[in-house]
Chains A and B, each alone.
Chain A
Amino acid sequence: MRFERRAHVPLHLAVAAPLGAVAAALVLAAGLIGAAGVGPLDAYAAMLRGALGSRLAVTEMLTRATPLILTGLAAATAFRARLWNIGGEGQFYLGALTTAWIGHALPLPGPVGVPVLMLCGMAAGAALLAGPAFLRLRFGVDEVVTTLLLNFVVILFVGMMIEGPLRDPLAFGWPQSVPVDGAFRLPDLVPRTRLHLGLLVAVATAGVVWLVLARTTWGLEARAAGLNPRAAAFAGVSLPATIMGVACLSGGLAGLAGAIEVMGVTGGVTTTMSPGFGYAGIVVAMLAALHPAGVVAAAVFVATVFVGADAMGRATGVPSFIADVIVALSLLTMLVALLFTTHRVRR
């Protein structure tokens, strides 16, 4: 059996791949749900009801999808250029912490301050990824390991700050950072829910990233740097400049996710505010086949699984870790599905 690369990926295959991958992941996870003594169909029904069954459930799901869209975009832009940014989690936290720190006492009116704070969060995330990108370009240090290790460093740093200089004195001894000023809290999209303006920002960002990657010279260079670095360099693309640019964009997107989560949902920063948004962003990016438009759909799917699994856990007693299992399985099945979209099997 051999694999032969297709010249073009037909649209129906590109759409079928993630759907097939998700279906396969759900079938595989059904066995584990059965092991908990619960019928898989009942469990999945409870999951769907929990994520999409009521107005409140849908808003909660979309609230969860908002940071996932941005961390998914962060992974997608980096992976396209073969920059293995696994540090989304750390960039998310650093963006969040920077936003809370500056936004706590920023003497600006709300409508000006919010974009300023978003830029601050982006700058923090970008700076955090620029380090590993520089180490790769200058010393040849693999960025996978450095970005992974920095996640642990950043979370410890956040812990240090929120127990020290940035501690919220009003949080009753619970370690939490000072909150952003009320003027910079993002307005609710639906009254009396947690869904906030950040969702629209995230979707618009996906549009901008798609335009930049698909329709600008820089986007073409970034893609070329990933597909064939040698050919790109031969064609006059400056690889170091392109990789640094991609790093700043990717880290910035993950930092923006943290900034928006702080301004939209949590107000202050805790070391448990992210249930793995950075790592889940990698799955989102892969399910989207690294396409910015697909990222929005994939983020909604992953958020549905996470929010639905919490409700399913309450209703049926199946541990909500099943959500992480389903999401991880869909990454693995998607990887196989992608092979069949880009290659055909020859005997």
Chain B
Amino acid sequence: MIDALDLLTNASLWAAVLRIATPLIFGVLGALLCERAGVLNLGIEGIMTMGAMAGWLTVHGGGDLWAGLAVAAVSGALMGLIHAMLTVPLGLSQHVSGLGITLFASALAYYLYRLIVTVGESPPTIEPFRPLDLGPLSDVPFLGQVLFAQTAPTYLALATALLLAWGLARTPLGLAIRMTGENPHAVEAQGLDPIAIRIGAVVAGSALMGVGGAFLTMAAFNSFFPEMVQGRGWICIALVVFASWRPGKALLGALLFAFFDAYQLRLQTAVEGVPYQVFLMAPYLLSIAALILVARRAEVPEALMTPYRRGER
């Protein structure tokens, strides 16, 4: 028990929290952006897989790390565009289309990967993002290791959260996006195009999901392998609900979740006699518990999952 408490004062635990949270922050912000505009994007799991593959592949093929992130964003955006075209102008089931995108994007990622890396070959590695060295700041005991020695995409994730929180709450575009998720008819009455806004939000949100996936292959690990996203996308969908569709709370939720994940990883080695699967189950069960806690007072966007058709009520 002493061991379990000792872990909490260990700087490497808290450094891991930010690292584990990074793909979740990108993912949850992406999902949140789609849903605030009124579109549920269950393609997230596959889009993250696609981003992970595309980013890795770019660097493997000789590209820059930042070019890899950009390609991951574009590949995510393309998958998002398919989902947007099916669900917004055509008004098809967002559940089924999203699951279809997940199946398609992950299958396509594995297929393209296998064109390059044959079965049995050990996964080729790339030179991933390195922790930044911010000089004296990184040398501060504890805080330096936790806050000032992360990889660049982690800071990008935190900046994106702040930007999205500000953009949604304080800009005319943010207002239009939120209004499209609440009442698209009112948007139309304002002379704006709810269909274009929804498509744009889904494409932009999916690009963020792609970047989140790329973090896995380009910073957390240094190679791609099937099933590597491991339900992180679904956890992001749960976190959006937990965060009541607010970017600030989504950031906190992702950090909280990452804390439990980092902690269970360390408990696995500290606590003897409990099968490791029990610890691995904890994050998923925790997400379900969080959903139960907030479900009653969730402020769901009014028009979420309701297709908008011009001239129909």
Residues of A within 8 A of B108 (CB): 32, 325, 328
When the two chains form their complex, are residues B241 and A142 in contact, meaning their CB atoms are under 8 A apart? yes
Which of B93, B100, B106, B110 counts the most A-chain CB atoms under 10 A from its CB?
B100
User: Is residue A163 contacting chain B, with contact meaning CB distance below 8 A?
Assistant: yes
Residues of A within 8 A of B291 (CB): 135, 141-142, 145-146
User: Is residue A324 contacting chain B, with contact meaning CB distance below 8 A?
Assistant: yes
When the two chains form their complex, are residues A324 and B292 in contact, meaning their CB atoms are under 8 A apart? no
Scoring B residues 270 to 292 as 1 if CB is less than 8 Å from chain A, else 0, what string do you get?
00000101101100110110011
Residues 35-75 of A contacting B (Cβ, < 8 Å): 35-36
Known pairs A152-B230, A282-B99. 13 more at Cβ < 8 A? A148-B231, A152-B284, A153-B281, A153-B285, A319-B110, A319-B111, A319-B114, A325-B111, A327-B107, A328-B103, A335-B93, A336-B92, A339-B92
Residues of A within 8 A of B285 (CB): 149, 153
Beta-carbon nearest neighbor of B119 in chain A: A319
When the two chains form their complex, are residues A141 and B295 in contact, meaning their CB atoms are under 8 A apart? yes
User: B9-17, B56-64, B121-129, B232-240: which lies at the A interface?
Assistant: B232-240
Give CA–CA (A324, B284) in the complex, Å: 26
Give CA–CA (A86, B298) in the complex, Å: 22
User: Which 7 pairs from chain A and chain B are nearest by CB?
Assistant: A324-B107, A319-B114, A328-B103, A328-B104, A160-B277, A321-B111, A156-B277
User: Is residue B251 contacting chain A, with contact meaning CB distance below 8 A?
Assistant: no
Residues of B within 8 A of A150 (CB): 284, 288
Scoring A residues 152 to 175 as 1 if CB is less than 8 Å from chain B, else 0, what string do you get?
110011011001100000000000
User: Is residue A2 contacting chain B, with contact meaning CB distance below 8 A?
Assistant: yes
Scoring A residues 313 to 345 as 1 if CB is less than 8 Å from chain B, else 0, what string do you get?
000000101101101110110011001000000
Which of B230, B280, B288, B292 counts the most A-chain CB atoms under 10 A from its CB?
B288
Q: Helix, strand, loop or mixed for chain B's interface?
A: helix
When the two chains form their complex, are residues B111 and A2 in contact, meaning their CB atoms are under 8 A apart? no
CB contact between B90 and one of A84, A152, A321, A336 (< 8 Å): that residue: A336
Give CA–CA (A331, B235) in the complex, Å: 24
Q: Helix, strand, loop or mixed for chain A's interface?
A: helix
When the two chains form their complex, are residues A321 and B96 in contact, meaning their CB atoms are under 8 A apart? no
When the two chains form their complex, are residues B287 and A149 in contact, meaning their CB atoms are under 8 A apart? yes
Residues of B within 8 A of A160 (CB): 275, 277-278
> Quick one: given A84-B95, A149-B238, A319-B115, are A325 and B277 in contact (CB under 8 Å)?
no
Beta-carbon nearest neighbor of A151 in chain B: B231
Beta-carbon nearest neighbor of B275 in chain A: A160
Give CA–CA (A262, B138) in the complex, Å: 55
Pull 28 A–B residue pairs with CB atoms less than 8 Å apart, ordered by A: A2-B311, A84-B95, A135-B288, A140-B298, A141-B288, A141-B292, A142-B241, A144-B42, A145-B238, A145-B241, A145-B288, A146-B291, A148-B234, A149-B285, A149-B288, A152-B231, A156-B277, A159-B277, A163-B275, A282-B96, A319-B115, A325-B108, A328-B107, A331-B103, A332-B100, A335-B92, A335-B93, A336-B86
Residues of A within 8 A of B311 (CB): 2
Beta-carbon nearest neighbor of A286 in chain B: B96
CB contact between B86 and one of A3, A140, A146, A332 (< 8 Å): that residue: A332
Give CA–CA (A86, B287) in the complex, Å: 16
Scoring A residues 130 to 150 as 1 if CB is less than 8 Å from chain B, else 0, what string do you get?
000001000111101110111
Give CA–CA (A50, B278) in the complex, Å: 41
Give CA–CA (A150, B291) in the complex, Å: 13
Please count the residue pairs between chain A and chain B whose beta carbons lie under 8 angstroms apart in the complex. 125
Beta-carbon nearest neighbor of B310 in chain A: A2
Interface residues on B, range: 35 or more
CB contact between B275 and one of A164, A322, A335, A336 (< 8 Å): that residue: A164
Give CA–CA (A36, B96) in the complex, Å: 29
Give CA–CA (A134, B230) in the complex, Å: 26
Residues of A within 8 A of B295 (CB): 135, 139-141
Residues of A within 8 A of B281 (CB): 152-153, 156-157
Give CA–CA (A79, B103) in the complex, Å: 18
Give CA–CA (A21, B127) in the complex, Å: 42
User: Is residue B309 contacting chain A, with contact meaning CB distance below 8 A?
Assistant: yes
**Min CB gap A318→B, angstroms:** 9
User: Is residue A303 contacting chain B, with contact meaning CB distance below 8 A?
Assistant: no
**Min CB gap A88→B, angstroms:** 11
User: Is residue A301 contacting chain B, with contact meaning CB distance below 8 A?
Assistant: no
**Min CB gap B242→A, angstroms:** 10
Which of B107, B114, B288, B296 counts the most A-chain CB atoms under 10 A from its CB?
B107
When the two chains form their complex, are residues A139 and B238 in contact, meaning their CB atoms are under 8 A apart? no
Residues of B within 8 A of A218 (CB): none
> Quick one: given A36-B115, A141-B295, A336-B92, are A327 and B241 in contact (CB under 8 Å)?
no
When the two chains form their complex, are residues B234 and A149 in contact, meaning their CB atoms are under 8 A apart? yes
When the two chains form their complex, are residues B296 and A139 in contact, meaning their CB atoms are under 8 A apart? yes
Give CA–CA (A159, B276) in the complex, Å: 10
Residues of A within 8 A of B82 (CB): 332
User: Is residue B22 contacting chain A, with contact meaning CB distance below 8 A?
Assistant: no
Residues of A within 8 A of B298 (CB): 140
Residues 230-257 of A contacting B (Cβ, < 8 Å): none
Give CA–CA (A160, B284) in the complex, Å: 16
When the two chains form their complex, are residues A3 and B91 in contact, meaning their CB atoms are under 8 A apart? yes
Give CA–CA (A232, B152) in the complex, Å: 54
User: Is residue B97 contacting chain A, with contact meaning CB distance below 8 A?
Assistant: yes
When the two chains form their complex, are residues B235 and A325 in contact, meaning their CB atoms are under 8 A apart? no
